Amino acid sequence: MELSHLLPFFMLIFISFFMTLPIMCVSHLSLLNNLTDQQALLSFKDHVIFDPYNVLGDWNNNMNFCNWTGVSATNAGIE
């Protein structure tokens, strides 16, 4: 098989890879943002001195922070 016949195949793979690269990067950044948001909320919890109704009781690493009491998470971030 001539090399010229393989060129379109390799070009297709090359283009496909570089078109999916931004999607992989955005996904990775989203994961980092989620981790940063969770760490910020846990830091906030550590500084709360008085929680008589134990509202922050479920704020821990055992549950996704989007499901914590008082936290509303969207694609835009936490609210």
Q: Where are the domains of the chain?
A: 32-79
Q: Nearest-CA neighbor of 41 among 25, 61, 24, 20?
A: 61
Phi–psi pair at 73, nearest 5 degrees: -110, 135
- Residue 69 confidence (pLDDT): 87
Model pLDDT for residues 1-41, shown as the tens digit of each residue: 566 666 676 666 656 655 665 554 444 445 556 778 888 88
64 vs 17: CA distance, rounded Å: 31
Structure tokens at 58: 């479920």
pTM here is: 0.55
56 vs 43: CA distance, rounded Å: 12
27-33 contacts, C-beta under 8 A, 24 or more apart: 33/77
